[in-house]
Chains A and B, each alone.
Chain A
Amino acid sequence: MNIRIKDSAPKRIMIVNRGEIASRVAKACRELGHTAIGLWTDNEPNAAHLEFCDEWVHLEGASNAETYLNIEKILEIAKEFKVDGVHPGYGFLSENGSFAKRLTDEGITFIGPHPEAIRVMGDKATSKALARDAGVPVVPGTAEAVPTVEEALKVANEIGYPILLKAVAGGGGRGMRACLNDQDVKNNFDAVVRESSAAFGNGDLLVEKLIVNPHHIEVQIMADKNGNVFHFFERECSIQRRHQKIVEEAPSPFIGDDEELRKNICETAVKLAKAVDYDSAGTVEFIMGEDKNFYFLEMNTRIQVEHPITEEITGVDLIICMIQSAFGEDLQIPSQEWIRKTGHAIECRICAEDPITMLPAPGSVTGFETNFPQGVRFDHCLYRGLNVTPDFDPMVGKLVSKGLVRDVAVRKMRAALDGVYIEGLKNNIPLHKVIMDDPVFKEGQYTTNFIKEVAPQDKISTDMDLDSIYLKLAAAEARNMGM
């Protein structure tokens, strides 16, 4: 079948984000013939993402509240610059339903799902209720907040230990605590209420079953405004620190060649997306136990950090699909059968953090260079002189490798990590190298407890590498000599 595609009318698209995702979206805008409008703030005048933006607008202010989270000011700029659409990237306002609604009310397209989908999926309780109604399995537990410790104990004994006390409004691993028995629940209940009240302004707690040796597996969804919902297979994101992903791969090595399970989890995700009339890029996250039963966790109603690995195995540009979908255009995907996966892709998140403690380490990049094996993708915002401030997330890049089989992707990633030279800024590349060399990782049978149990961070050698110091000094001397 020879399918011809239609070009869309040029639009003006403002990117309300920074860092590598802003670059990524700007590139997609360029490819489609749209004008990419980038923003820069007072604390980041050298914003590297502007490189791919056609127009640069100063978003005054330094704090995130004054800038990338400032709905009023962003609306003002959008109107002033006659913007047709706004892409929110991830983080910041990407999952803010009222921002999407305000834009829509002004006749500006929000490049993301409709506000109602954001609202429903943004709340753990309502999203679970919807999943239950749609026949999507959810982790056994309470649908409503448990008001008292007595109530929590009752539920815990009904569903059986171990259980998890979890903030209704929580996220990113904060506001949750595992309990193995009644005593744990009694000890932790008040603490989690306090923690979540302080962090999220909402102290309501849920009780749910704790899945043992879990795998974090998620399905990429893309939908248009005509009710077509496609899945792009799954990703496994079980390697996490502080409940935040650091290594992701597609497809999941745990699902492996169990095609029936793969089909089942992907179709379940499609079913859920259809239940909210989903109309953009989204990710349905599941937790899968060692028995391969899976349960719905949450749906992220935005593009995700780890989308490149899905793009690598399917060959589809998800950001472009997202833009086309938002303007009511055809996704240029004739049917689900056209979406096929080949090979295996791995992503390592390169973060400005201590490789051993994994705590953020802001600082300046004094030198940056890459020297990659063939076929490596690096979405990043690094440059010599970059100052990583404590204001933003410590992630500075995403290194992506691909191979026809998993072992090749791992080998390529290991070589790629050797080819990233970041000077002056602490980063987690030494950790990624140890993970790629780890036998448990190589087997592909790791769980979300990998960082805790296998503890690759403990295997990082911190001995002074005099040889590399000599090389750096030599380069400085050579430069001084005018070479």
Chain B
Amino acid sequence: MRSYLIDSENNEFIIDLTKTIKHSSELVEFEFSSIQESQNIDSKRVFIRKLAGNYYCSFDNVAWRKLARQHVPSKVLNVDKVYNLYRGFKPSGLSSGASGDLLTQMPGKVVKLNIKVGDEVAAGDVVLILEAMKMENEIKTSVSGTVKAIHVEEGQALDSGVLMIEIE
């Protein structure tokens, strides 16, 4: 699964979970990779062990330290920056650049299309709703203009990175 870390200034970090091995009910191993410009820049194995109700973590299955217990974190702190954490998808409206092309950020199913070809849209308008991770995500356009083409239809299942809508 891919995670996106985005702070208030739209700085972005992408981390992929590339491997999961369940050694026992008390010990699991993960492999994470950091992605920058589609390149894998860093990889690391992480072991998680549950001990006396707490989670402990290790990079080598030898040296362990305690982890703060938390629910699936919605925010991640790094010294002076708090990043919003999106697991599995990147929310709409945060994509940088002013391109009118809307691509899927994650696999999902088109629930609703709000526009048709030739419609005028303004930046921030919800153009389509995509269901993923059992959550409906509003996909907004970041540019104003005219809808030039729609490449998807309601009910269609999409992979990640598919071009859905073009706006001019």
Tell me which residues across on chain B come within 8 A of A480, comparing CB atoms. Answer: 72
Q: Are A355 and B79 in contact (CB under 8 A)?
A: yes
Q: Are A465 and B71 in contact (CB under 8 A)?
A: no
Tell me which residues across on chain B come within 8 A of A32, comparing CB atoms. Answer: none
Residues of B in contact with A, size category: 35 or more
Tell me which residues across on chain B come within 8 A of A422, comparing CB atoms. Answer: 68, 77
Q: Are B55 and A475 in contact (CB under 8 A)?
A: yes
For the complex, give the distance between the alpha carbons of A220 and B144 in Å.
65
Residues of A in contact with B, size category: 35 or more
Tell me which residues across on chain A come within 8 A of B75, comparing CB atoms. Answer: 363-364, 366, 423-424
B58's nearest neighbour on chain A, judged by CB, is A471
Tell me which residues across on chain A come within 8 A of B71, comparing CB atoms. Answer: 366-367, 384, 476, 479
Q: How far is the CB of A40 from chain B (nearest CB, A)?
A: 24
Q: Are B32 and A369 in contact (CB under 8 A)?
A: no
Interface positions, chain B 1-56, Cβ under 8 Å from A, are 3, 5, 13, 15, 17, 20, 22, 25-26, 28, 30, 32, 34, 42, 44, 46, 48, 50, 54-55
Q: How far is the CB of B73 from chain A (nearest CB, A)?
A: 5
Q: Are A421 and B66 in contact (CB under 8 A)?
A: yes
Does A311 make an interface contact (CB < 8 A)? no
A479's nearest neighbour on chain B, judged by CB, is B72
Interface positions, chain B 120-166, Cβ under 8 Å from A, are none
Q: Are B17 and A471 in contact (CB under 8 A)?
A: no
Q: How far is the CB of A421 from chain B (nearest CB, A)?
A: 3
For the complex, give the distance between the alpha carbons of A354 and B80 in Å.
6
The listed residue with most B CB atoms (<10 A of its CB), out of A363, A366, A430, A461, is: A366
Q: Are B68 and A367 in contact (CB under 8 A)?
A: yes
Interface positions, chain A 449-480, Cβ under 8 Å from B, are 460-462, 464-480
Q: Are B66 and A369 in contact (CB under 8 A)?
A: yes
B1's nearest neighbour on chain A, judged by CB, is A477
Tell me which residues across on chain A come within 8 A of B25, comparing CB atoms. Answer: 483
Q: Are B80 and A471 in contact (CB under 8 A)?
A: no
Tell me which residues across on chain B come within 8 A of A421, comparing CB atoms. Answer: 66-68
Q: Are A478 and B28 in contact (CB under 8 A)?
A: yes
Interface positions, chain A 389-423, Cβ under 8 Å from B, are 421-423
Q: Are B78 and A462 in contact (CB under 8 A)?
A: yes
Neighbour of A356 across the interface among B13, B80, B87, CB < 8 A: B80
Interface positions, chain B 74-92, Cβ under 8 Å from A, are 74-82, 87
For the complex, give the distance between the alpha carbons of A471 and B77 in Å.
13
Tell me which residues across on chain A come within 8 A of B65, comparing CB atoms. Answer: 371
Q: Are B42 and A355 in contact (CB under 8 A)?
A: no
Tell me which residues across on chain B come within 8 A of A477, comparing CB atoms. Answer: 17, 20, 28, 30, 48
A384-B70, A475-B57 are known contacts. Are A470 and B76 too (CB-CB below 8 A)? no
Tell me which residues across on chain A come within 8 A of B79, comparing CB atoms. Answer: 355-356, 430, 460-462, 465
The 0/1 profile, CB within 8 Å of B marked 1, for residues 412-445 of chain A is 0000000001111110001000000000000000
Q: How far is the CB of B68 from chain A (nearest CB, A)?
A: 3
Neighbour of A478 across the interface among B48, B76, B80, B87, CB < 8 A: B48
Tell me which residues across on chain A come within 8 A of B80, comparing CB atoms. Answer: 354-357, 426, 430, 460, 462
Does A481 make an interface contact (CB < 8 A)? yes
Tell me which residues across on chain A come within 8 A of B13, comparing CB atoms. Answer: 464, 466, 469
B13's nearest neighbour on chain A, judged by CB, is A464
Q: Are B68 and A483 in contact (CB under 8 A)?
A: no
Q: Are A366 and B48 in contact (CB under 8 A)?
A: no
A426-B82, A460-B80, A469-B78 are known contacts. Are A474 and B57 too (CB-CB below 8 A)? yes
Q: Are B68 and A476 in contact (CB under 8 A)?
A: no
Q: Are A469 and B15 in contact (CB under 8 A)?
A: yes
Does A368 make an interface contact (CB < 8 A)? yes
A371-B66, A472-B67, A483-B28 are known contacts. Are A366 and B57 too (CB-CB below 8 A)? no
For the complex, give the distance between the alpha carbons of A464 and B55 in Å.
23
The listed residue with most B CB atoms (<10 A of its CB), out of A357, A384, A461, A472, is: A472
Q: Are B46 and A423 in contact (CB under 8 A)?
A: no
Q: How far is the CB of B135 from chain A (nearest CB, A)?
A: 15
Q: How far is the CB of B37 from chain A (nearest CB, A)?
A: 15
For the complex, give the distance between the alpha carbons of A476 and B20 in Å.
13
Neighbour of A423 across the interface among B5, B26, B50, B68, CB < 8 A: B68
Q: Are A481 and B22 in contact (CB under 8 A)?
A: yes
A464's nearest neighbour on chain B, judged by CB, is B78
Neighbour of A462 across the interface among B44, B70, B81, CB < 8 A: B81
Q: How far is the CB of B71 from chain A (nearest CB, A)?
A: 7
For the complex, give the distance between the alpha carbons of A363 and B54 in Å.
24
Q: How far is the CB of A394 from chain B (nearest CB, A)?
A: 14
Q: Are A470 and B73 in contact (CB under 8 A)?
A: no
Interface positions, chain A 356-374, Cβ under 8 Å from B, are 356-357, 361, 363-364, 366-369, 371
Interface positions, chain A 338-367, Cβ under 8 Å from B, are 354-357, 361, 363-364, 366-367
For the complex, give the distance between the alpha carbons of A331 and B32 in Å.
60
For the complex, give the distance between the alpha carbons of A476 and B5 in Å.
14
Q: Are A367 and B57 in contact (CB under 8 A)?
A: no
A430's nearest neighbour on chain B, judged by CB, is B79
13 contacts between A and B (CB under 8 A): A354-B80, A369-B69, A460-B80, A462-B78, A464-B78, A469-B5, A470-B46, A472-B76, A474-B28, A474-B48, A474-B57, A475-B67, A476-B87
Which B residues have a C-beta under 8 Å from some C-beta of A? 3, 5, 13, 15, 17, 20, 22, 25-26, 28, 30, 32, 34, 42, 44, 46, 48, 50, 54-55, 57, 59, 65-82, 87
Can you name 13 extra interface pairs (CB under 8 A) apart from A421-B67, A460-B80, A469-B15? A354-B80, A355-B80, A356-B79, A366-B75, A367-B69, A367-B71, A384-B69, A423-B68, A424-B76, A426-B80, A473-B3, A473-B30, A475-B55
Q: Which 8 A-B pairs have the closest CB atoms?
A: A367-B70, A421-B68, A367-B68, A369-B68, A474-B46, A478-B48, A424-B75, A470-B32
